[in-house]
Structure 1
Amino acid sequence: MVKITIGTKENPVRFSYANVHQPVSVNGSDLKYSVSIIIPKSDKKSVKKIKDAIQKAIEENKDKFGGKIPANLKTPLRDGDVDREDDEAYADSYFINANSKIKPGIVDGDLNPIIDQSEFYSGCYGRVSLTFYGFNVNGNKGIAAGLQNIMKTADGEPLGGRSSAEDDFADDEDVLG
């Protein structure tokens, strides 16, 4: 298992599809906490760190793959321009979907735990620690990303098309008659 931290105050990652407060089941799978981590392609340092960690995890897990690296080995780093071409939040970015059966620690920039669930949401920015590990399940072989901990460093435009009640009704003249 290879552990890294990506994102900095100057070059944060962005969080999407954040299911970090309550675990969810996807298509009947085990309950898991998960998040999609969007990394700008311009953040060459984080991209290199991720690629190096994946490569190290591949080397560490050769035994799981039968002693050799399969041609169709799955890896977690994906290209947003290819795999999410219809989603502008993923434009000119890479992304990693990470999950865990254990709730991630979530802190603010001063390392204070974020208790209020509305404070961490899809669209905010920060840092994240991940582990990369090998898997070989039902003929699928690859490297997966395990979600460890999250640090929120900045707010961002919420993703997912949801607006706040304050925004929806701020200019509504009909509210009070």
Structure 2
Amino acid sequence: MANDNQSTKVITGKVRLSYTNIFEPQSINGSEEKYSTAILIPKSDKETLRKIKAAIDAAAEQGKAQWGGKIPANLKKPLRDGDEERPDDEAYAGHYFLNASSKNKPGIAKPIGRGADGKTKFEEITDSTEVYSGCYAKVSINFYPFNTNGNRGIAAGLNNVVKVQDGEALAGRASVQSDFADEDFDDDIGGDDEDYLN
């Protein structure tokens, strides 16, 4: 039998990250600074969605103690439908999504093969350009109840992020490569080195 903590924790399948601020904490609308990312889960990933729903239910059971012994009818839940809530955003089509955050910096890594014991080995990622809105990852999250200013619900805590694949960058910012791929720089960088060293 899993303990309470285990039942509210989920390791996702391959998901896509959006609105990703996991290297530096950010304040949203004047709130406390946190590390955060939106997690886009394909609707086809039934196993991850099953685990998330079970963890949300487990967190709701834990929340009864602070909600007067019962689960509120208007309980706010973190898992939302991208097709319904973000109909104009292509990245959210065919996905559920949730926002996960933490006051503590999450572990950020990539798999680098298997060790002699057969277990996956990881390398920490310190380059903030390597994990970005649009890349793919597996994420460790935990769900917990809250009761703040009359708002009762379940929130998603961000534990660790393992990048598994690059993807097209989201959030509207183009890469240097895509902006300048068709530009001709031969004339600009030929000739005197001092032109671009000063």
Q: Does the TM-score normalized on the shorter chain lie above 0.5?
A: yes
Aligned to 1:62: 64
Aligned to 2:99: 97
Q: Among 154, 179, 184, which residue is 1:143 paired with?
A: 154
Aligned length: 173
Q: Which amino acid aligns with 1:80?
A: G
Q: Show CA shifts across 1:3-49 (max 9, x none).
A: 11111xxxx10000000011000111110000000000000000000
Which contiguous aligned blocks of 4+ residues in structure 1 show a shift greater than 6 angstroms?
A: none
Offset at residue 84 of structure 1 (A): 1.2
Offset at residue 162 of structure 1 (A): 1.4
Q: Among 14, 18, 27, which residue is 1:16 paired with?
A: 18
Greater relative contact order: 1 or 2 (C-alpha under 8 angstroms, separation 6 or more)?
1
Aligned to 2:164: 153
Alignment partners' CA distance in 2, 1:113 and 1:174: 35
What is the TM-score normalised by the length of structure 1? 0.94
Q: Which amino acid aligns with 2:174?
A: S
Q: Percent identity?
A: 57
Over the residues paired in the alignment, what is the CA RMSD in angstroms? 1.2
What is the TM-score normalised by the length of structure 2? 0.84
Residue 144 of structure 2 corresponds to residue 133 of structure 1:
yes
Aligned to 1:34: 36
Q: Which amino acid aligns with 2:179?
A: D
SS at match of 1:50: helix
Structure 2 unmatched ranges of 5 or more:
113-121, 189-198
Q: Which has the larger radius of gyration?
A: 2
Aligned to 2:10: 4
Alignment partners' CA distance in 2, 1:50 and 1:132: 9
